[in-house]
Amino acid sequence: MRDTLLALTTPTTVLALVLGTLLAGLFHCLTVTKGSRLLVTWTVGVAGFGLGVVLSQFLGIKFVSIGPTDLVIPTISSIIAMVVARLIKL
């Protein structure tokens, strides 16, 4: 549990925000949605990436990582979250 909490330190949080923002922007451009949906896409993308970071730390799975942050599981969870949000039209 302590390792999971240490994974959410400031550099990891900043990295999660930056990568979540990049993924949300890319998803927004590829799906050609309205500009008003950008805030929803960004929020869901960053939240999905953050949950993916916690999930990968909890399960102890690391494929490709930058520091203590795994990139594969959070990226997949962010994309899944944005697709689900788009499908249910949040």
- Average the pLDDT over 63-78 and give the result: 85
What is the C-alpha to C-alpha distance for residues 23 and 44, in angstroms, rounded to an integer?
Answer: 10
How many CB atoms neighbour CB 78 within 10 A?
27
Reported as a single tens digit per residue, the pLDDT across 24-36 is: 888 888 886 777 7
Q: Is the dihedral of CA 22, 27, 29, 33 positive or negative?
A: negative
Question: Would you tell me the crossing angle of helices 10-31 and 38-59 to the nearest 10 degrees?
Answer: 130
**Would you state the pLDDT for residue 68?**
75
Pick 57 or 81 by higher pLDDT: 81
**Would you state the pLDDT for residue 77?**
93
pTM: 0.80
Which residues span the domain enclosing 62? 2-87
Q: If pLDDT is split at 50, 70 and 90, which confidence band does 3 have? A: low
Indicate the number of domains in the chain. Answer: 1
3-state secondary structure of 89: coil
